[in-house]
Amino acid sequence: MNIENESVLTLPDGLLGFDHLTRYVVLSDNDKSAFRWLQSLEDPAVAFLLIDPWCFRPDYGPEIRNEDVAALGIRPESAKIVYAIVTIPPGQPEAMTANLLGPIVINVSAQTGRQVIVDNCEYYTTKHSILTEMRRATGLQATVH
Amino acid sequence: MLVLTRRTNQSIIIGDDIEITIVEIKGDQVRLGITAPRDITVHRKEIHEQIRQENIQAAALQAQDAALAQNLLDSPDAAKPKGSD
Q: What confidence score (pLDDT) does residue B44 get?
A: 83
Q: How far apart are CA A2 and CA A118, in angstroms?
A: 30
pTM recorded for the entire structure: 0.82
| Cβ contact, residue pair A48, B61, below 8 Å | yes
Query: How close is the nearest chain B Cα to the Cα of A142, in Å?
Result: 11
pLDDT tens digit sequence for A22-46: 999 999 877 788 899 999 999 999 9
Residue B68, pLDDT > 70, answer: yes
ipTM reported for the complex, 2 dp = 0.88
Angle at A98 between CA A95 and CA A99, to 5 degrees: 135
Q: CA A7, CA A45: separation in Å to the nearest integer?
A: 19
The whole-angstrom separation of Cα B48 and Cα A12 is 17
User: How far apart are the C-alpha atoms of B47 and A101, rounded to whole Å?
Assistant: 9
Interface touch A88/B79, C-beta < 8 Å: no
How many angstroms separate the CA atoms of A126 and A87, rounded? Answer: 9
Nearest Cα neighbor of B81 from A40, A132, A67 is A132
Instruction: Give yes or no for residue B78 having a pLDDT over 90.
Output: no
For chain A, the residues whose C-beta falls within 8 A of a C-beta of chain B are: 15-18, 29, 33-35, 46-49, 55, 65-68, 70-71, 85-88, 90-94, 96, 99, 101-102, 115, 117, 121, 126-127, 130-131, 134-135, 138, 140, 144-145
Among A66-70, B9-13, B49-53, B68-72, the minimum mean pLDDT is found in A66-70
Residue B84 has pLDDT above 50, yes or no: no
Give the count of beta carbons closer than 10 Å to the beta carbon of residue A143: 11
Q: Which residues of A touch B48 (CB under 8 A)?
A: 16, 117
- Give the pLDDT of residue B82: 46
pLDDT reported for residue B79: 54
Residues B36-51 have pLDDT tens digits of 987 777 878 999 999 9
| Residue B85 vs residue A50, higher pLDDT | A50
Give A49-89 pLDDT, tens digit per residue. Answer: 999 999 999 999 999 887 788 788 877 677 889 999 999 99
Start-to-end CA span in chain A (Å): 40
Contacts of A18 in chain B (CB under 8 A): 55, 59
Place A138 in a pLDDT band, splitting at 50, 70 and 90. Answer: confident
CA–CA separation, A68 and A118 (whole Å): 10
- pLDDT at position A142 over 80: no
Q: Chain A closest CA to B29's CA: distance in Å?
A: 17
Task: Please provide the DSSP assignment of B13-32 as one string.
Answer: EETTTEEEEEEEEETTEEEE
